[in-house]
Structure 1
């Protein structure tokens, strides 16, 4: 089994990144629920799946990979401007503007909860990953907008 390099992102805590091997790397199409208490590493797991080792390797002028291969990343949540998501946004911009050999046609979009797009509007020609961040306690009206992503998304 191929192992995924796993990095700990302590942007808000100012600690060094630690590299851990981790066997989790889903294949398309998939639905993935990551849940746990506060400070349990949920966001770090998502960042590792979305960024892989690509950003670290690009800085060393080597080719890396994202573990979840996607073209478009859509973040929907209440805390879309926290440091870890700002890092992801910057990384996707770097991936999109990298030298041709490592460049990817990727986009990143961060949306507030009141702007959840219709799941049927996404292009079937592109792999789109949607991350619902910290929305489990939202109103039923919001939950009803999320349900189609798990049924037909």
Structure 2
């Protein structure tokens, strides 16, 4: 018997990731695939240094809240899909952890949301979605909100345009 296709959806609890989760549940239903929601908590190195608390200890302080939040999203995904959905909370750099998770778990499809940042915000903050698209070991679907799509379409100055 063939193994079920594995879909992983990145969740940062934003509206963009809510759209990604909806897209991921639709794809999981369409392809009878396994679905996992993954949240990566970025360790606040600067804050940890100021507080003299190791980043991992800070993560442990917020882990209970993160597990509660992802459980709520998992419940929503399960209602939409009509079957169990797995979830996981990781700590570290979101792009790095998502890529590593995809490799280690044999993910067939990654679904991520994008906030549609352009210009200086994009250059300073970088883009988890962009890095995942460029380096993923599998197919990636990027779910964009109407606002993100409008921002990208409205960016006519080449210095500020996003590359799809």
Fold match, TM over 0.5? no
TM (normalized to structure 1)? 0.31
User: TM-score, normalised to structure 2's length?
Assistant: 0.29
Q: If you compute each CA radius of gyration, which structure gives the higher value, 1 or 2? A: 2
Higher helix share: 2
Higher relative contact order structure (alpha carbons within 8 Å, sequence separation ≥ 6): 2
